[in-house]
Structure 1
Amino acid sequence: MLVNKILKVVLLLLGITYIVLQGFAMEQEGDAVSALSFILLTWLYIGWTKHKSRLFVSFLFIFTSAHILSYLSWFQAPLEDGEPDYSYYIGNILSIISYSLLIIKMFLQLNFKTVFAQLTVPVVILVILDVFCVTLISSTTESAFTYYEYALEFTYNAVVMTLLSFALINYMYRNNYKSMLFLLGSIFIVFSEIIQLAYYYILSDANLGYIYSFFLVVAFIFYYLQSQHRVSEPIPVYTEDPMDAKSSLP
């Protein structure tokens, strides 16, 4: 338990350090801190979580790998004109895969017969909003990318918005504390990704570095907190005692 508490304190300090470094545009140092933070977070989850999810473990491993690669890319040889940045493609693909694992995790836990019976209108609205938001966000940076980079960024944005939509549907379906924490984490992930995109390709405002890094840290605090709760049966909206919900899945 002592190591557990020490790790949590260290992670909190690393999170604050990461926010400060990104705010001062010290990106190499920030990437080093973020890579170390995700390694320790993965260790914390695996070592001290009673009911572990294989998909969540895989998400942490792959997301951590993307951040390690981001740090190592600082030491690669300078790219020649027209030479593709393979670390950029691999890092983004790893992030897409990691977020997709969270979507799959929720997909497997949802009863779609009930979801479509009770939430048909919200689902249709979410699909329309996703298409609109992804198209709008991606179009703002279209001129900054090559064709293949734009395709990758479009896919990345689509996956992130799909994650948020599934998190919202999951919360409306389950109506419990774990799903609420997951939704909050996903909201902060989306905000972090959108602001990070604006920071690198649209606006040159140093304050955005503080904001997107802060949102990323908060997102993973919520993700870790939700991971400490078991998946439970949906709670009826008008239930008097939410604790009556029975745990059904590890």
Structure 2
Amino acid sequence: MLVKKIIKVVLLLLGAVYILLQGLAKEVEGAILSAIILMLLTWLYASWTKHRSKFFLSFLVTFTIAQVLNAISWYTPEVPLDKTDYFYYVINMLYIVAYALLILKTIKQLNLKTIFSELTIPIVVLVVLDVFCVTLISGTTEGSFSYYQYVLEYAYNAFVMALLSFALIDYMYRNNSKSMLFLIGTIFIAFSEIIQLAYFYILTDDSLGFVYSFFLVVAFFFLYLQSQHKVTDPIPAYVDEPIEVENLQ
């Protein structure tokens, strides 16, 4: 237990340092530190979590591998514009796989028949909003990418928005602390990804590095918190109970 507490404290301290490095535009140092943080977080989850989820563990492992490759990519020669940057494609596809694993984790614990029968209208609204948001967000960077990069970026944004939508559906269906923590975590992931996109391809404000890295750290904090809760049956929003009226004599 002492080792577990030490790792948690170290993770909090390293998370603060990571946010500071990103705020100072120290991309290389931040990439290396983020890989270390995720390796420690994966070790913490795998070693000291009572109710482990294979999907969540796979998400952590996949995301960690992507972060390690991202750190390594900073030490490789710069790829000319007319050449294919394989690191870019592999890293982003790993992120997509990681988010897909979280989506599968959410779908696995849903009763899809009940979901579609009770939440038909919210699901339709979410689909429309997702398509609109993904198209809008991806469109802001269309001129910065080649065709295949744009397709990958569009798919990336689609998976992020899909993750957020499934987390919201899970919360509306399950209505408990675990689903609420998961929803908060995915909200921060979505905000972090959107701001990161603006930071790298649209705006040149270094303060955005501080913001997106802070949101990312907070996102993983909530994702870890929800992982410590066991999956339970949905909690009704309200319960119809007969009211007993005493007859006064």
TM-score interval, smaller chain: over 0.9
Name the amino acid aligned to 1:212: Y
* SS of alignment partner, residue 75 of structure 1: coil
Q: Which runs of 5+ in 2 are unaligned?
A: 241-249
Deviations 1:196-243 (A, max 9, x none): 000000000111001000000000000000000010000000159xxx
Matched, 1:14 2:8: no
Report what 1:110 is aligned to: 110
* Whole-Å separation in 1 of the counterparts to 2:80 and 2:143: 21
Stretch of structure 1 that moved more, 178-187 or 103-112: 103-112
Q: Shift of the alpha carbon at 1:81?
A: 4.1
Report what 1:55 is aligned to: 55
What fraction of aligned residue pairs are identical, expressed as a percent?
63
* Whole-Å separation in 1 of the counterparts to 2:88 and 2:185: 25
Q: Shift of the alpha carbon at 1:80?
A: 3.2
* SS of alignment partner, residue 232 of structure 1: coil
Name the amino acid aligned to 1:34: S
* Match runs of 1:68-83 below 5 Å: 68-83=68-83
Report what 1:32 is aligned to: 32
When Rg is computed on C-alpha atoms for both structures, the one with the higher figure is 2
Matched, 1:144 2:144: yes
Matched, 1:157 2:166: no
* Whole-Å separation in 2 of the counterparts to 1:128 and 1:77: 42
Matched, 1:231 2:210: no
* SS of alignment partner, residue 231 of structure 1: coil
RMSD: 1.0
* Whole-Å separation in 1 of the counterparts to 2:26 and 2:151: 28
Q: Which runs of 5+ in 1 are unaligned?
A: 241-250
Stretch of structure 1 that moved more, 231-240 or 26-35: 231-240
Matched, 1:86 2:86: yes
* SS of alignment partner, residue 28 of structure 1: helix
Report what 1:123 is aligned to: 123
Counting matched residue pairs gives 240
* Whole-Å separation in 1 of the counterparts to 2:113 and 2:147: 39
Name the amino acid aligned to 1:21: L
Stretch of structure 1 that moved more, 79-88 or 164-173: 79-88
Q: If the length of structure 2 is used for normalisation, what is the TM-score?
A: 0.95
* Whole-Å separation in 1 of the counterparts to 2:29 and 2:91: 18
Name the amino acid aligned to 1:85: D
Return structure 1 stretches of 4+ with deviation > 3 angstroms. none
Q: Shift of the alpha carbon at 1:74?
A: 1.1
* Whole-Å separation in 2 of the counterparts to 1:80 and 1:140: 23
* SS of alignment partner, residue 74 of structure 2: helix
Name the amino acid aligned to 1:132: F
Name the amino acid aligned to 2:91: G
Q: If the length of structure 1 is used for normalisation, what is the TM-score?
A: 0.95
